[in-house]
A and B are shown apart, each in its own frame.
Chain A
Amino acid sequence: MAAGVAAWLPFARAAAIGWMPVANCPMPLAPADKNKRQDELIILNVSGRRFQTWRTTLERYPDTLLGSTEKEFFFNEDTKEYFFDRDPEVFRCVLNFYRTGKLHYPRYECISAYDDELAFYGILPEIIGDCCYEEYKDRKRENAERLMDDNDSENNQESMPSLSFRQTMWRAFENPHTSTLALVFYYVTGFFIAVSVITNVVETVPCGTVPGSKELPCGERYSVAFFCLDTACVMIFTVEYLLRLFAAPSRYRFIRSVMSIIDVVAIMPYYIGLVMTNNEDVSGAFVTLRVFRVFRIFKFSRHSQGLRILGYTLKSCASELGFLLFSLTMAIIIFATVMFYAEKGSSASKFTSIPASFWYTIVTMTTLGYGDMVPKTIAGKIFGSICSLSGVLVIALPVPVIVSNFSRIYHQNQRADKRRAQKKARLARIRVAKTGSSNAYLHSKRNGLLNEALELTGTPEEEQMGKTTSLIESQHHHLLHCLEKTTGLSYLVDDPLLSVRTSTIKNHEFIDEQMFEQNCMESSMQNYPSTRSPSLSSHPSLTTTCCSRRSKKTTHLPNSNLPATRLRSMQELSTIHIQGSEQPSLTTSRSSLNLKADDGLRPNCKTSQITTAIISIPTPPALTPEGESRPAPASPGPNTNIPSIASNVVKVSAL
């Protein structure tokens, strides 16, 4: 039942008195209105903006948040108002829905934000009024397409090391940019297509005379050369076709696809020609078959995005093209008939029959006007001019539709490419941020450790470390620490050589020394310039065994600092919401891992300079950007981790 109509319910009930005298049976009792309140104003405080409305207005829709008792959860006793920590702009629309019964969609609002708000208030988007529904649906569809595009491209970029040879080949064919070999193949085939097409064209050019015979086309003069060229091209095409056929995931579907049919048609004439070389009867047909060699030019559509877009546009405008054709046909028949009868009287008229007049009509309507057929009578001229004027109109009508379709698809494509390019950068940045965040945790652990160690010596370091972590961060770190304790493993950062085994021995002196040294190096490296070629090859490796003083190697902190400084610069650019404070410098706590004193390590709230609180493990960069965090195995991973991670980072800065 519509909302406002609820206001008329009392009226309808009152009018029911009209039935009473004619009623057969006694009436049921009326429901008692238990808490019959006087209608009161209620205050809705949405992020500071106060809206007021009658209680009954909200109760019109009892299955939404505001109309049901669910809003009591938001009631603030002190101020006697309902407080919602949401967007006041969208709330305006929501409240208007209660008032007028119509839900509108404001154009300036982001569609997903709007959807979220509607979901919060328990309102189905389907009841958006007709005035705004189309706009809403369009934007929603666009958004969904965009997200799907992103998802697709994301999926495409996951490298699956477990592809079979066949699958790699297919990917190479479809995306030539994946490997250099594919790229080479791509260009080679492109080159040969061009050669083949040019050969076909040049074959027919008259080439000068051979003494003793008339002028020959080049094809016949240098038939051997052309034959060799043709053979080479066809061989390449055949090989390509067979390779594609082999690599195709679904061979049946591949054979049916348009491109493969074009391939086949392009190379068939050659083979047929080989088979039937000397048979005079069919050589005529064979010559005709050579026409199909022109289909090779369509093979270029694999190489050109624009051609594909054009083809797709034509396909999507099929109805407009169909209409164009139909209306043209109608007009042609009408005008041809009229012209024929108009010109019938004149002598030596070229308009011998209606089909003969078709030619005139087409030429006139498309404003070509060859002049091989012209009307001579006055009536004919009149109708001829009407014909040409209407031709312009009829043809001009569907063209803008086709053009706008093409433009839309083309821009969509451009946008998709741009998004893909941007997405790489975005994901890289996200990855870096996440790298930083996991480092944050470890760093805080180390600092906690350090402070513990230095309890004896007072806390100069503590002040040096400066700002405090926020409560959320410390709680988060504590949570991660608990997880480590539960599983008995611990998080690994960057350098697998620093892999941690849950050592139960905590060596204070060792820690001290390590920490101290590390601190020195850190402070010196604090402002490590963010160049593109850090010396990443050396590996920091503080090994972790308890008695490993001997194996103490220097921590090569440039690694650790590199992500830090990068992160600092990225933070301005990054679109990711980085929780927590904004302290810039971020140092990995490689060494701390080891010393990880499982017992008694409490990340000391006072000391870290951590930035992010999103934890993930920066494992080999091939992983998806979501970066699953997993406890790293305590085995030395490939040493290429660091360079590759840094190179990821580097790539980001280049953009």
Chain B
Amino acid sequence: NLHKKNLIYYAGVSSQSNGDRFKIEGRAIVPGVKTQDWVSTARVLVEGEEYVGFLRTDGSFAVNDIPSGSYVVEVVTPTFRFEPVRVDITSKGKMRARLVNFIKTSEVIRQPYPLQIRGSPQSYFMRRETWGWTDFLMNPMVMMMVLPLLIIVLLPKVVNTNDPEMRKEMEQSMNMLNPNPELPDVSELMTKLFSGSKGSGKAGGSSKGTRPAVKRR
């Protein structure tokens, strides 16, 4: 008889003491990674380190003993990144999860509750700048330098400038483009230049070798 009385009395006590304490529940998963591999390094932080919870072996968690209020819940591990979630608990124990927004603090974008938090691998490293030939060649400055060079070197070879007919034709077309014959014509200058240097260019076989020679003329 005494025993039963005790039980009833006790029940009263428990509802009183637990009346304003709640628990936040949820589950954290990293797609494609077994939970066993990372749960031992994970923690659930509620509002900084105000309340701390741990993950079960299946990735689910429950943080006990939390009074009503609004909290930022975050799962932290060294290897994965989980988005924090704000959880509001009313004094009656109604729960609501929403996106964290520190600027518009009253904005509500609902999130599922119990929480479903997905993790993604975290990268702490910046890709180091490496020196590769492709990087060098793809540099716009280099491209700007190389392309005209190619044109300068290759064009005279493709178009046989020694052929008098061709030359005449070209001159004609140039004259059409360039109505003022008094002005020094760039292409003419070029063709002159390269037909002159052709001999030495062949001997040297190096474009580097030709350039100083040209200047000296």
Is the A/B pair a real complex? no
A-binding residues in B (CB < 8 A):
none
A-side residues, CB < 8 A to B, are: none
